[in-house]
């Protein structure tokens, strides 16, 4: 018997969707529709029966290699479930949603794409960090929702995708029926290491629309379907047909979407500022307050997202390294991350930021600093630099970071950026001589800054002769750098 084709890529929907934009999203408040023949009832035999059923479905519907990867993700998922204390019911509901996608013969999505979604759902259940923003839209907020839903409620995340792909709609926790447009985007159809998965595209768009509807907002969220790399790949349409760009997600929209998907009210958002904290929004005003807030939420097992300014380190570095760039295409640097743990012994905070598959670590001091506007941090950075000069150990890495922020904020011209960077590097060389690049933090900052000047600005960086000499000498002595 010839094995089925491996669904590693999406099939287009030209036969179903001829329009260049999504079909209109309509909402109705009604009782859930009777389940179709493709929506299987829960297995009475519990987790063991569901595990066997989805394994059998994977062997039948997928190629040998795809089925092996699917089962490896099942194993990883169950190992994660033990670590994260997920119930057997949660595992079972995840398997049943994946089985529906594998077994469905007819659906809103093509059979091929439903099989692909099953593999991606299981991959995200095994590793919630697979949730990605992608290159077409500034969707860090929905990514945070997706990541933490797969982390804590994978069955509900998988069910959302299965409902959307099979029936073309999703029923929220409160009974609203949201029509889902499951047309794959160009990015989903042409994946690379930075692409958003098709399963992420569906989750994020349905989650946003579910939250908008339940909050009484008359807008609907849509994706563009052409090749888009500038981040302007999504938009809203209101009830009058007026179109506005999607520029990010606000706190109330995040809370509404999460509640619409899970029916729970336990999501907490951490923001910087002097607002009045509530059960769901915590304002922090110091590193100490950040540490206490995160520690308290982690002790309670509370799902938590943090809003920050991506111009601050380490996020600027992480974004630039992903080739996505830290900037929202509309000039808004607000960014959401999903907290994943807190180490009381070291004070280290674990998080996922949607730009890669990694779990990163950050201190409460650096996290608090990141929640503030980068411009707000400039006075502190200047004071730190002056203090370091007094101690005859000038922190020139900090000085260069401040120059970058001033440049991105439009506070200094390209000409002044070039001039001031040469000034600070001259001071660094005067302080440390030929060993000016030995410190890794300083070295990395200088490399990033020169790359920033070359790539992000119209005027080429013109280094001083002294800079060129020492820089080239160091590179010659360290060819692996």
| 396, part of any domain | yes
Identify the band that residue 20 occupies on the pLDDT scale cut at 50, 70 and 90.
very low
Give 185's DSSP letter: P
Report whether 178 contacts 27 (CB < 8 A): yes
Single residue among 241, 262, 283 that ends a domain in this structure: 262
- 139 part of a folded domain: yes
Residues 6+ positions from 371 with CB-CB distance below 8 Å? 270, 271, 272, 284, 290, 306, 307, 308, 309
Checking if the pLDDT of 306 tops 80, the result is yes
Dihedral sign (CA 239, 241, 242, 247): positive
Q: Where are the beta strands (DSSP E) in 257-388?
A: 268-272, 281-284, 304-309, 334-342, 348-352, 360-363
Q: Are strands 268-272 and 281-284 parallel, antiparallel or unpaired?
A: parallel
Residues 247 and 365 in one domain: no
Q: Which helix (H) or strand (E) holds 177?
A: strand 176-179
Domain-embedded: residue 112? yes
C-beta of residue 278 within 8 angstroms of C-beta of residue 265: no
Higher pLDDT, 351 or 137: 351
The chain-wide mean pLDDT, for the chain, equals 81
Q: Is the pLDDT of residue 357 over 80?
A: yes
pLDDT digits (tens, 9 = 90+) for 110-119: 999 999 999 9
pLDDT tens for each residue of 410-462:
777 777 777 777 777 777 777 777 777 777 777 777 777 666 666 655 455 66
Q: Are residues 224 and 356 in the same domain?
A: no
Distance CA 326, CA 69 (A): 33
Q: Which string of DSSP letters, residue by residue, matches 100-115?
A: HHHH-SS-SS-HHHHH
The arithmetic mean of pLDDT across residues 1-6, rounded, is: 35
Of 262, 284, 315, the residue at which a domain comes to its end is 262
326: which residues sit within 8 A by CB, 6+ positions away? 310, 311, 315, 316, 319, 320, 333, 335
Same domain, 186 and 235: yes
Torsion angle (degrees, nearest 10) of CA 176, 177, 183, 185? 0
Please tell me whether residue 370 adopts helix, strand or coil conformation. helix
First to last CA, the chain: 52
223: closest CA among 206, 240, 238? Answer: 206
Residue 35 domain-assigned (yes or no): yes
* Same domain for 378 and 363: no
Structural domain includes residue 12: no
280 and 250, same domain (yes or no): no
Domain that holds residue 93: 27-262
Encode pLDDT of 201-260 as tens digits.
Answer: 999 999 999 999 888 888 988 887 777 666 677 888 998 999 998 888 889 999 999 999
H-type alpha helices, 334-439: 364-371, 374-390, 396-408, 414-432
Give me the mean pLDDT over the 144-167 stretch: 96
Same domain for 161 and 192, yes or no, is yes
CB atoms within 10 A of CB 298: 18
Distances (CA, A) of 204 to 207, 435, 445: 5, 49, 34
């Amino acid at each position: 018997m010839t094995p089925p084709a491996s669904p590693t890529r999406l099939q287009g929907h030209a036969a179903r969707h001829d329009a260049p934009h999504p079909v209109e999203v309509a909402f109705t408040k009604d009782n859930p529709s009777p389940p179709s023949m493709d929506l299987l009832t829960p297995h009475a035999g519990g987790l063991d029966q569901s595990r066997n059923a989805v394994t059998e479905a994977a062997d039948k519907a997928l190629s040998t290699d795809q089925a092996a990867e699917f089962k490896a993700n099942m194993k990883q998922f169950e190992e994660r479930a033990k670590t994260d204390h997920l119930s057997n019911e949660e595992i079972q509901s995840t398997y049943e949603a994946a089985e529906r996608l594998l077994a469905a013969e007819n659906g809103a999505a093509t059979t091929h794409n439903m099989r692909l979604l099953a593999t991606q759902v299981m991959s995200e259940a095994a590793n919630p960090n697979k949730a990605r923003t992608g290159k077409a839209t500034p969707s860090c907020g929905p990514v945070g929702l997706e990541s933490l839903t797969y982390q804590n409620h994978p069955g509900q995340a998988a069910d959302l995708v299965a409902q959307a792909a099979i029936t073309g709609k999703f029923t929220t926790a409160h009974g609203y029926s949201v029509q889902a447009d499951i047309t794959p985007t160009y990015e989903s159809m042409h994946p690379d290491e930075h692409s958003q998965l098709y399963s992420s595209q569906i989750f994020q768009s349905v989650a946003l629309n579910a939250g908008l509807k339940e909050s009484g907002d008359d807008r609907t969220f849509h994706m563009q379907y052409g090749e888009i790399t500038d981040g302007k790949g999504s938009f809203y349409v209101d009830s009058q047909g007026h179109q506005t760009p999607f520029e990010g997600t606000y706190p109330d929209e995040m809370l509404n979407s999460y509640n619409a998907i899970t029916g729970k009210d336990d999501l907490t958002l951490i923001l910087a500022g002097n607002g009045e904290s509530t059960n769901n929004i915590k304002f922090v005003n110091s590193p100490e307050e950040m540490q206490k807030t995160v520690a308290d939420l982690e002790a309670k097992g509370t799902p938590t997202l943090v809003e920050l300014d991506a111009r601050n380190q380490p996020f600027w570095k992480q974004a630039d390294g992903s080739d996505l760039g830290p900037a929202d295409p509309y000039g808004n640097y607000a960014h959401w991350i999903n907290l994943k743990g807190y180490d009381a012994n070291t004070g280290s905070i674990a998080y996922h930021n949607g730009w890669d598959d990694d779990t990163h670590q950050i201190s409460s001091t650096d996290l608090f600093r990141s929640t503030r506007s980068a411009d707000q941090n400039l006075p502190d950075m200047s004071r730190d630099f002056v203090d370091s000069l007094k101690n005859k150990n000038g922190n020139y890495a900090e000085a260069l970071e401040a120059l970058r922020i001033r440049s991105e904020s439009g506070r200094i011209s390209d000409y002044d950026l070039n001039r001031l960077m040469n000034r600070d590097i001259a001071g660094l060389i005067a302080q440390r001589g030929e060993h000016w690049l030995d410190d890794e933090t300083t070295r990395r900052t200088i490399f990033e800054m020169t790359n920033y000047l070359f790539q992000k600005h119209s005027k080429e960086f013109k280094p001083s002769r002294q800079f060129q000499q020492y820089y080239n000498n160091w590179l010659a002595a360290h060819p692996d750098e």
